[in-house]
Chain A
Amino acid sequence: MVALTGGRESRCHGCMSNTPVIEVERLNLTYGDFHAVKDLSFEVRRGELYALLGTNGAGKTSTLETIEGHRRPTSGAVRVFGRSPQDRRAVRPRMGVMLQESGFSPDLTVRESVGLVGRLSRRTDDVDRLLDLVDLTDRAGRKVSQLSGGEKRRLDFATAVYGTPELIFLDEPTTGLDIQSRDAVWETVDRVRENGATIVLTTHYLEEAQQRADRIGLMHQGTFHREGTVSELTRTLPAVIRFSLPAPAPSLPLQAVVDADGKVMVETFALQEDLHLLLRWAQEHSVELRGLEAGATRLDDVFRAISS
């Protein structure tokens, strides 16, 4: 049975539930006078891939680090598996963390680094299998200081999925990776999701979130600007049809504006119907719609709308 969520096919086969793995209630974080996170509330359910996105300085990292237990809330509550994230002994063996920056000792080898973090996380796994998974087998005996940026990200990813934890935080997991490595990372994420893992993702690659997230929290200035599935977020903005018209042209059947490039722009919440209407009008009046472009609203458009 394949679960359908928000118009996209979930990779989690029948394992998503409404049980919250993460509960954030009225979270506030301040640094001196700066209010980084304001009254933020949300839940992440078991088995889902939740993407926390936002503009620079929106409060994503502060929120994520509070959930991971690296910071204490100024006010409000955060629970992971029903417990405080500060309760490391209870919570950490069940969660894997991929930090935004590497955080490995440069003098340890790749194998030693994976083994150390794995052991300290109180999970068990085969280090060789993991190194093979992230294509670092031939680097196993090298010091971390000798790795490239992309190889360090892969090493970080290997420690996050060590022992297949129930909850995995992926902070910019594919930044600096080539296309093959990105694909390998997402393949592994799909695999751990098949085992029921819950993923919390932050990324600047919006297409990755659009393709993979079950739900998205879009942060701006310390709080959620919007939250929901991709289709729920994108349906709040109109789709756009663009074309050029030869002059003179009969009046259009739809409301339109002319943009700075002289192109006609039609904004619509009923893309299919309006596109059909426009094409029929063009045929009836023998008008060529030059450079016709029409596309559904993308996450990038929503993102640009909140940051503008």
Chain B
Amino acid sequence: MSCIETIQNYALRSLGIGERLLPRSDFTLCEQFTLIGSGLIWNVYFGALALATGFFLATGVAVAKNARQAWLRKPAEWFIFLFRGSPLFIQFFLAYEAFVLLPRTGIEIFGITAQTSWLTRAWAGALIVLFLNTAAYSGEIFYGALRAVPKGDLEAADAYGLTGFARFRRVVWPTMLRLAWPAYTNEAIFLFQSTTLVFFSGFPAWQQRGDALYYASYFADKTFNPFIPYPILAGYFILLTLVIISLFGMMNRRLNRHLPQERRQPIRFRLQVIR
């Protein structure tokens, strides 16, 4: 089988399109590259959606944690502590077991039957966990940035007569994002990396549609040779990281565009970390 055919058969295998059976023996390099790359679709899906939705909750959580009223501040603090203080791995297990316990037939709410079975599937259940998790981590980052908004900016906003939501929308929020952006970029990078945990933590890979690490470990198990699939996976992830860095760098330039040249801060990348 030529490499083109392999790509045709397996490039979308992780979505269930193409050849149903995975290769069983005589693995070629081409097969490994194609299947692991195919699994990367799931990593991008989880990472991108969780990041996009988590961003809004994170902003809300940061503002709530900064609030003076205790009934608003306490839940935000607990939310952040709960998700930052426990391993993501355990969160996945816990969420999966909780979703499994929901009645299979659905829940009756006001006469409408809400289906629940899709929650136990990885595409939804794991996404919810990742969404909450990244919201907590970025919420803490945004909270730190919110506290660091310069006093002068707020005074200037007052002088222009901006109050309430208009002040937040036009002065506080953009500055908060600008200050938080380097740290938020790091958060994005390791959110993408922690998406590899999904299929190792309770959520089953239905019909062997897994993510990049799922296929990499499949090959490593079958060939008993870790020196080929894992470096391929590493290569894909380094590429993914570079893409994230360039996208966030573009956004960073936009957020900093009003500043004089020497005060702009390029993003510095610190070590990435597991959760």
Task: Tell whether A and B belong to one assembly.
Answer: no
Which B residues are closer than 8 A to A by beta carbons?
A: none
Which A residues are closer than 8 A to B by beta carbons?
A: none
